[in-house]
Structure 1
């Protein structure tokens, strides 16, 4: 977490609550999406070294999110969140409980009554979280289980994921000239693949060349990058033919990524205007599946992501600042 972002964690034993105020360096639309889209939640919700895997999610009043926290030894700890009230991009509340893989609630474990409120504050978004428990004993048990430490790490995972995935794109594009690129994800073989492509096409890497997870700035409060992924590739760009750009990154499981055939490649369009970005997004995504609506990102881009009706993955990325 960046040191200038608000983070309060207050335990109130008089009313059996934990109150958290957590600020993120992104706009409201992006933060709301990160908290309500299961594909994005799976990337950051679990504290390291655990990871999250969603079994099902129905984000509506009366709906439920059923998911597992998976340990490095592949032990699965199941939870479910039943949604009670949802006000789009303003708040949602619900009941979170430990359960089995079918959603049958454990009676031995505390249940958490959540209320999450989202407030846009300039370029940042403040999430106000109230976690209420049925008894003081439940509150004390959840604190003893490491709730503060785990929740803090999850919030930092979201910071780190946003920064790692998007920040470096702006560094490598120095004008608003339109271009098309292909964004490739690898399971630890990005460097090997891109050195092969570099040899085949006889071109040179753009920007700073191969950037690695170990290059992420060690800002105050930022979670450390695991040693086993420091040498993995965070971002690389290589021109091939006709001005086309290959971009690539490793997708380590330690960062919460779940790489599979079908989600390992996107076509990335970078139009010259914001209006063209909207047109491309709206027309290409019609009948498809929007995973991230077009929105202004804190890193200076207007960005969206989706798969079209033919299940082809696309990114639309317009740089507001150059």
Structure 2
């Protein structure tokens, strides 16, 4: 797309969202325009991340995309926590985890597999990702199992301990994967694409797009409650699929684009890395932040949410463990996502 046309589209979507937020009282219109703006901003964020990845490699580029892409989920969830909408927060966390593993990776593998018969990535990285997913599942299941045996005060303490431990584990994973064993987990994909911008401009674009995502995310939250009540949708469905799909727009654009260029390693790093970051860093951070703002949130997820995360992790581990993908495996991931989405809609 022509750069002038691209930035004109960004400006138009932002102006429309601002008009709806400040000058109208129709909350559905506000939600729709804010959602469109976030999706357009995600395309900007994806281009900036791809350009940064050219200079830093797919490992660091994927990490940056996951981090800046998850900024939308983190910011949206922060405002939901501030409003005391804990059920929707946990649902959005669930949706972000399974959305990245099943929808983002599924689309990337499917579309990339249609263009290339088979795409390969580092199998050792896939093995470590599988171990981290198992850790995340265990951490989410334990509070839910013990909640019937422990009083609320102890559940809150257990949640804090788990949150701190998961954050430490995630930070140690970053040290392991990007410092001490970076060569061990090196990318297999060649860096053949040309960067969109220079290194400095790429970083600036990454920062600017994230700032605008943060602003529009706050506008989005204002229409969430009205949306669920107007259509009769549960907080679980709105949080796990509506908000999660919008929040994952950045990962969608960047991951699919890399897969179509034959760089499935970058797609896997974005999709799986984003899910792990949500489970091991974003969710625990929200638990700790909730304490600071005087609205403590526990780490207890519903059986529906736990089942969805476990099912998503199981199929993802099964498909990625060999370090190779094809279009059929992408279809399997998307099938599980559709099944879960249908089940959540009827809850």
Q: Provide TM-score, normalisation by structure 1.
A: 0.25
Which structure dedicates a bigger proportion of its chain to helix? 2
Which structure dedicates a bigger proportion of its chain to strand? 1
Q: With CA pairs under 8 Å and 6+ residues apart, which has the higher RCO, 1 or 2?
A: 2
Q: Provide TM-score, normalisation by structure 2.
A: 0.24
Bigger Rg over Cα: 1
